[in-house]
Structure formats: structure tokens, C-alpha cells
Amino acid sequence: MKTQEPIVSIRGLRKSFGEHLVLQGIDLDVQPSQVVVIIGPSGSGKSTFLRCCNGLEPADSGRVEICGRVLTDAGHMLGDLALNRLREDVGMVFQSFNLFPHLSAIDNITIGPRKVRGMSRQQANAEAMDLLDKVGLRQKAHAMPGSLSGGQKQRVAIARALAMQPQVMLFDEPTSALDPELVGEVLQVMKLLATEGMTMMVVTHEMDFAREVGDVVVVMDGGVVIEAGPPSTIFTNPAQSRTRDFLRAVLSRN
Ligand code: ADP
Ligand code: MG
């Protein structure tokens, strides 16, 4: 097998909030086009971990290298300008969509390329229509977020992130706020991105997605990675009893 340079490389990542040590030394490599699914109980540090990967949260120590740049090393983070540039390469999708409520779907998608990249409105609109096609929402281009369902809002949020042509996409529980019948349409878009070769780090409780789309499943508990491996191993023969307990609890919910 061809050995590649990881596109994300994390070593000894630590982060506290006050006295509370939330990340206790995380190590992880992500290869280009890999889909890494991060699971674990609430409060285990999954969101904090993702936020440290794009500098939304400063790490206390350890090293994060992503998209060819050292984001943080031993508590020193990239400066604001370089950080903004890095965030163009690292797209993020949140549970709560975070669309601009006063902008239409297409304007939510074009605002980044226009304001940050200086792209013309015409070109930004053309690219946004292609992205709306990809997420199945061409007909909603001029809809305001308030008139969209949660699943549609999340698909616009994904299109908005893609408009910056990121190299890595981070998803933090992108379907957790959705009514059950809308989860599938969002997962389907994420699956499409995965098949197109997008590098993705996905925090989710959707175990079918993890099993089907994940290349690696990372199990976090108490601020550490307790185990990581291919879904076939993690779901059928996990090494840790805490993984078994967590999976039993999540799967019994469905
Ligand atoms: P998860 O996403 O796995 O549920 P989080 O990363 O959100 O976990 O949180 C891990 C721990 O860090 C929790 O105990 C949470 O209360 C705490 N935490 C997260 N963000 C903050 C913050 N901004 N300030 C203080 N504590 C925080
Ligand atoms: Mg979280």
C-alpha cells in the first residue's frame, strides 16, 4: 500500500477548562480521503477535540498539524491571519446549523467566497447553484432559513462549508438536532462527500453511518481515545468494556 502523509496529525493534545482536564493527550492521524468517525459518551470531549482541530478552541499543549500547517504546538497557536486562512481549508458543520437567518440559502453559501475570496457575485452564484444541486436543494436557492426544515438547513450549512473548497470537513453531531425522518437526507449528503474522497472527521451517534461510511472509528471517553480501529472491529469485537457499554446504550435507543 502506498504510504501517504497524513492530512491531519495530532500528538499529545491536551486542553483544560479551569481545573477540568477535558482532553488528556489525544493522538490521531487522518489520511487524505479517510472518514474518521468519533463516538463516545456525552462530555467525553468530542466537541472540544474537533474545535481544537480548527483553532476554535486553543489547546493547552500538544501539537495539531492540519492541511500542511502547524495549527498549534506546545500552546502556541497560529496568528489570526494564518488561522483564518487555515479555516478556509477546514470546513465545519455544527449541530445547530448556524446559518445567517437574514440571508437566503444561496446568499449563505456565497458570502464566504465573495467576502473572503473576493469572488464575483456571478461566479459565486454559479458555484453555489452547483453545490445546491449536490445537496438536493437547487429549488430552495432563494428560500430563507426560517422557511427550511432542519434537514434542509443542515444541507445548506454543508453547501456553505463546501463553498470554501475545504480539504478537510469536521462534523459535530450534524444530525442530532433533527427530527428522525430528516436524518437520512443529511447522512446521504455526507456519504456522497465521502465517496467523492473528502477527508472527514465526524462526531455522531449514527452507528449505521459509522459502520457503513467510517474507515476508522475512534472511541473517546473521559478525554482520551480508549480505542480506535475499523468499524468491523469496534462494532463486533471492541477491546474495551467501556466501548461495549457505550455501544449497548446507544444501540438500545434506536
Ligand atoms: P462532548 O462533545 O463529548 O459531549 P465536550 O467537548 O462538549 O464533550 O465537553 C467535554 C467537557 O468539557 C464537558 O465536561 C463540558 O462540560 C466541558 N466544557 C466544554 N466546553 C467548555 C467550556 N467552554 N467551558 C467550560 N467547560 C467546557
Ligand atoms: Mg459535543
Query: Which strands sit side by side in the sheet containing 20-30, from one edge to the other?
Result: 20-30, 8-17, 61-66, 69-73, 76-77
Residue 198 has a pLDDT of: 98
What is the distance in A from the centroid of ligand 1 to the CA of 223?
Answer: 10
Residue 122 has a pLDDT of: 98
Nearest Cα residue to atom 6 of ligand 1:
45
Which amino acid does the sequence have at 182?
A: L
Could you tell me whether strands 76-77 and 69-73 are parallel, antiparallel, or unpaired per DSSP bridges? antiparallel
Percent of the chain past pLDDT 70, that is, above it, reads: 98
Q: Which H/E stretch holds residue 171? A: strand 168-172
**How far apart (Å, rounded) are the C-alpha atoms in residues 236 and 214?**
14
Three-class secondary structure of residue 197 per DSSP? coil
Pocket test for ligand 1, best of 13, 22, 56 (most atoms within 8 A of CB): 22
Contact present, 132 and 140 (Cβ < 8 Å): yes
Q: Which range is least confidently modeled, 4-8, 144-148, 194-198?
A: 4-8
CA atoms within 13 A on the CB side of 197: 4
Three-class secondary structure of residue 51 per DSSP? helix
For the segment 179-194, what is each residue's pLDDT rounded down to a tens digit?
Answer: 999 999 999 999 999 9
Identify the residues whose C-beta falls under 6 Å from ligand 1. 17, 22, 40, 42-48
For the segment 137-189, what is each residue's pLDDT rounded down to a tens digit?
Answer: 999 999 999 999 999 999 999 999 999 999 999 999 999 999 999 999 999 99
Across 63-67, average pLDDT: 98
For the segment 116-130, what is each residue's pLDDT rounded down to a tens digit?
Answer: 999 999 999 999 999
Residue 2 has a pLDDT of: 53
Closest ligand to C-alpha of residue 172 is 2
Contact present, 55 and 87 (Cβ < 8 Å): yes
Evaluate if pTM is beyond 0.75: yes
Residue 4 has a pLDDT of: 78
Asked whether the predicted pLDDT for residue 1 surpasses 60, the reply is no
Which amino acid does the sequence have at 99?
A: L
Helices within 196-228 (DSSP H only): 207-213
What is the distance in A from the centroid of ligand 1 to the CA of 142?
Answer: 36
Dihedral sign, CA of 174, 178, 182, 183?
A: positive
Contact present, 183 and 175 (Cβ < 8 Å): yes
For the segment 75-110, what is each residue's pLDDT rounded down to a tens digit?
Answer: 999 999 999 999 999 999 999 999 999 999 999 999
Asked whether the predicted pLDDT for residue 253 surpasses 90, the reply is no
Query: Residue 254: pLDDT band by 50, 70, 90 thresholds?
Result: low
